[in-house]
Structure 1
Amino acid sequence: MNNCFAAIFIPPSFDLSLLDKKVAGIPLLKRLILTLNRVGFEHIVLFGSKKKLEDCDHLNKELATDHRFKGDLIRLEEGHYFSQLEILKDKHCLAINANTIVLKETISSFFQTSQASESFKTNHVVQMAGERHERLPLFLLPLECLSALDSWNQSGNPPVNISLIPADSDAPIFVSSVQNRSELKQAERTFIAKHRFHYSQLMDIWFNSFFALRISSLLVKTPFTPNQITLAGLLIGLLASYGFAQGNYWGGLIGSLLLAFTAVWDCCDGDVARLKFMESDFGEKLDTACDNVINVFVFTGIMLGVAKVDGWNQALLPFAMLCLGGGGIFILIYFPKGGKGAFFKGTSIYSAIQLLASRNFVYIVLLFGIVGELDWFLWFAGFGSLLFALELFRIRLKTLALRKTQQELP
């Protein structure tokens, strides 16, 4: 976004206190600034009346110490002109009102679509249009039209001669300007619900998201970080393994329910990280590590519970098969460069690897727990993991041979 800056307009008659109301744990205006910065805008201009800008002084202090913000926030009072700002010369402008809640994916999609449009190339101001061709409060101004910003600054009204650009149907779209607290609350609910598009696995989309997004909408209002939420999920998983180890029906059922809940909870740390702009490589690695630790303890707990009821012979053999197969799967999936099955991308088994990584197996455990036959699950898991590891190994050898042949071709 080096060739573009973002301009945020504070509407003249707008109740400024609304900009400090929190949307998913972050004040409305601060969320908009962080969203634009996360999209890639380094220079963000905030302008309105002198009084309104003075009331926003605290934002500069907050952003100066906020590691999530990496850019410049420039204030421009009414009566001053964009042309006076040397840093903004020779740049296009993305313009938006301060009372807007928007997905960063919506901004990215609009920016890319607009820059490729004939209207923008022929120096027209473009505005985003919704699915029903309604005008959405997102504008892109080419260099030749930046004088319109000064008029907008003086009058408080956007340019009149505008070309509408329809939203990209493949991108998640949400942009809403709010005028009061009631509209803000409604927009917040829709905004959080729209984050469902981040889910890719079947059970996450059609089941886990129904509960996870509701839990996440509460967690974002607390001081808990995504990593703390991940560690809380680990604790829930350990409690599930303790239930399995009791060797009785109710212990197995409670353990199964807690394990199923970890699949829902596992979505929440990612939701909170995205909503609070706190995604990190460490957080992703911690999440993967905790998932694997939970799996180890849960299967060990099931083995101990089966041993209490049926004896060690009936528990150790399937558990040994599970350890051998599971260890092989882990090595084949995570140790080749890229992790999570990257080596197998493009092969017939890649989708199965992603399904396995999603921990959807917890619902199979739940079914066996409900009928009180966790010993059957242990045998099922033992045989299944061995067969899957052997198939992974076969496809790996076949893929390596194929790639070697391709490299030898002239």
Structure 2
Amino acid sequence: MKTALIIASNDNGLQPVFRVPNIRRLILLATRLGFDNVHIVGRINSIASAVSDLLPGSSLHTAEEPAQAKDVLQQMNLNEQERVLILKADVVIDRLSLSEFLEGAQSVRTARMELASNGTPDGIYMSHPDHLSEILEALWVPSATGAESLLRNVVSFPGRNGLPRLVDSRENDAGAAEEKLIGVLAAQTAQSDGFMARHFDRRISRFFSRKLVRTGITPNQVTLIGVSIGLTGALLLSLANYWAHLVGAMLFVFCVIVDGVDGEVARLKLMESRFGHYLDITTDNLVHVAVFAGIAFGLYNGSGNRLYLWALWFLLGGFAVAAVAVYQCIKRVDPKTFKQSPKLVRLMKMLSNRDFAYLVLLLALIDHLEWFLLGAAVGTYLFAVGLWLLTSRPGKEAAQVQ
């Protein structure tokens, strides 16, 4: 799968979805899912300015009617063995659903992902070049002769959560599509979220994401706001005062919630980036270390007991040991074996699970943060030992990790 073909038979693809023309969203989705060649066929004059920075001029093909579009297909000389993604410029789809459709469509010759409003030949298609002309005409003119016969010869995959769907020039229509995209955010993070994140944090983060995604704020700016909240919480935790500890723990929980907002805004705006990914990881770890240090210094300042400072150093050493264990796991275990290992998956999920923030809040409420500090100091070493034991025999991972 190298080629994606976007049909722009009208100007509806220019309708903004989260302030981004939908046709740009489709190009970004296609390229991030591995399509090296993205072509647009249709009314190029009206959309060229919206996509010129994403595609070269050779990928823009003018066509005012299906016959001209078919001529473009012939000129493209597509490989007969290649499978082509073909969709309309005004179809709205999320990355996870499109990715799952592409994976499922690999086993059939011609596949179609149905629109939420089923009953027409509209949809998203994956097919070999010999069926593209028929699909193109059906997408260009859904009522065209032969459209019904096309549906009888393809394997259809249902949409979900109201997607994919079409947008037109109406603003409320785009707003409905935006709400559907927000609605599928939960499915995109379900595998990595902990219990509290899934049932509590995400409900609040999606409330903020729904507001922020319609503004000019960027995901990286949200990340910096979150780290500021977390560091403020860590500072309060370092004070020798019960109420400061409680407010600091509350700010840490709020920081964790805000940490979900930056990723949600990035996915909705299609602004994911390598820099943003590493910024998020770096700031998360910075906040964690600051919170642990804040708890240790807060306990020391309140009691004068140097045990808490030694526990902090022991905890930081545990972080280093755990990092080495994770690195060895990545080196030793191939991706297929990893996915088939429930124990490894559970252990690695612990790295991204931030539900422990609620434990910090609970222990701050009952004024026993020392339980968390001492437990975390020991827990990091137990995590490292467990991961090392599961992956300590190269070549026998599959037998060990089941």
Gaps of 5+ in 1: 121-125
2:166 is aligned, of 150, 174, 177, to 177
Pairing 1:58–2:49 present: yes
Change in Cα spacing, 1:337 to 1:353, as seen in structure 2 (3 Å) is closer
Pairing 1:94–2:68 present: no
Task: State the alpha-carbon separation in 1 of the partners of residues 306 and 141 from structure 2.
Answer: 82
Change in Cα spacing, 1:243 to 1:142, as seen in structure 2 (3 Å) is same
2:353 is aligned, of 358, 363, 366, to 358
Task: State the alpha-carbon separation in 2 of the partners of residues 88 and 296 from structure 1.
Answer: 56
Q: Report what 1:10 is aligned to.
A: 9
1:370 is aligned, of 338, 355, 365, to 365
Pairing 1:328–2:315 present: no
Q: Report what 1:280 is aligned to.
A: 273
Which whole-Å deviations, capped at 9, do the CAs of 1:264-304 have from their partners, x for residues lacking one? Answer: 12222222333333333333332222111111111221222
Pairing 1:233–2:234 present: no
1:116 is aligned, of 96, 104, 107, to 107
Change in Cα spacing, 1:383 to 1:53, as seen in structure 2 (3 Å) is closer
Pairing 1:38–2:28 present: no
Task: State the alpha-carbon separation in 1 of the partners of residues 26 and 258 from structure 2.
Answer: 27
1:105 is aligned, of 93, 96, 102, to 96
Which whole-Å deviations, capped at 9, do the CAs of 1:127-152 have from their partners, x for residues lacking one? Answer: 33479975562234543333335645
TM-score, structure 2 normalization: 0.79
Change in Cα spacing, 1:73 to 1:321, as seen in structure 2 (3 Å) is same
TM-score, structure 1 normalization: 0.78
- SS at structure 2 position matched to 1:312: coil
Task: State the alpha-carbon separation in 1 of the partners of residues 329 and 394 from structure 2.
Answer: 15
Q: Report what 2:400 is aligned to.
A: none
Deviation at 1:388, TM superposition (A): 4.4
Alignment of 1:213-232 (within 5 A): 213-232=206-225
Q: CA RMSD in A?
A: 3.7
Which whole-Å deviations, capped at 9, do the CAs of 1:320-347 have from their partners, x for residues lacking one? Answer: 44334344334433x43639x9999548
Alignment of 1:244-323 (within 5 A): 244-313=237-306, 315-323=308-316
Pairing 1:137–2:123 present: yes
Which whole-Å deviations, capped at 9, do the CAs of 1:216-257 have from their partners, x for residues lacking one? Answer: 233333444333332332211111111112322321122111
Task: State the alpha-carbon separation in 2 of the partners of residues 189 and 177 from structure 1.
Answer: 13
Q: Report what 2:59 is aligned to.
A: 72
Larger CA deviation: 34-43 vs 297-306: 34-43
Change in Cα spacing, 1:342 to 1:320, as seen in structure 2 (3 Å) is farther
Change in Cα spacing, 1:251 to 1:185, as seen in structure 2 (3 Å) is same
Deviation at 1:56, TM superposition (A): 1.8
Equivalent residue letter for 1:82: K
Task: State the alpha-carbon separation in 2 of the partners of residues 42 and 395 from structure 1.
Answer: 38
Is the CA contact (8 Å cut-off) linking 1:329 and 1:385 kept in structure 2?
no
Deviation at 1:70, TM superposition (A): 12
- SS at structure 2 position matched to 1:279: coil
Q: Report what 1:190 is aligned to.
A: 180
Equivalent residue letter for 1:147: S
% identical aligned pairs = 24
- SS at structure 2 position matched to 1:94: strand
Pairing 1:82–2:70 present: yes
- SS at structure 2 position matched to 1:95: strand
Deviation at 1:185, TM superposition (A): 0.6
Equivalent residue letter for 2:27: I
- SS at structure 2 position matched to 1:6: strand
Deviation at 1:97, TM superposition (A): 2.7
